[in-house]
Amino acid sequence: METSLIILKPDAVQRGLMGRIITRFEEKGLQVVGAKLMKISPELAAQHYKDHVSKPFYPGLVKFMTSSPVMVLAIHGNGAIAVCRNLMGATFGSKAAAGTIRGDFGVSNSFNLIHGSDGPEAAARELALFFGKGEVLEFARAGDAWVYDMSSGTAE
């Protein structure tokens, strides 16, 4: 089991897509274990996107991410990082497959609706940036018995 950071970006919030996007994660069987609506400060954006600081798109990315509220989520489940990334689709909406979040809701190559952690190390770093102690919860769901086959002792 793992937890991924998901950010519903300003375009998703402004377009009223938060509920529809969150529903996709829940319908897949993933568990929302943390959520908050927030405005990202320039300082937090700089920390989050520090690996992109030398890239030409960086100033526009920071401006975009700080322009309006975002919804940050901690999404938990078996293989959650890969599952979330598959649900999100290709980076650019114009190239994302139908049935994915970006493929169904996006056409822009700049506004791509959603961010998801790309690996366990990134997830740990990103979750610590956006959630404080006690803001990501652990709790059992009775329905998990119908999401995961546990007959082997591990979630499948």
Q: DSSP 3-state helix, strand, coil percentages of the chain (rounded to 5)?
A: 40, 15, 40
b/e per residue 95-131 (b: at least 16 CB within 10 A): ebeeebbbbbbbeeeebbbbbbbeeeeebeebbeebb
Catalytic: 48?
A: no
Please give the structure tokens belonging to residue 71.
């919804």
Give the residue numbers annotated as catalytic, written as ranges: 115
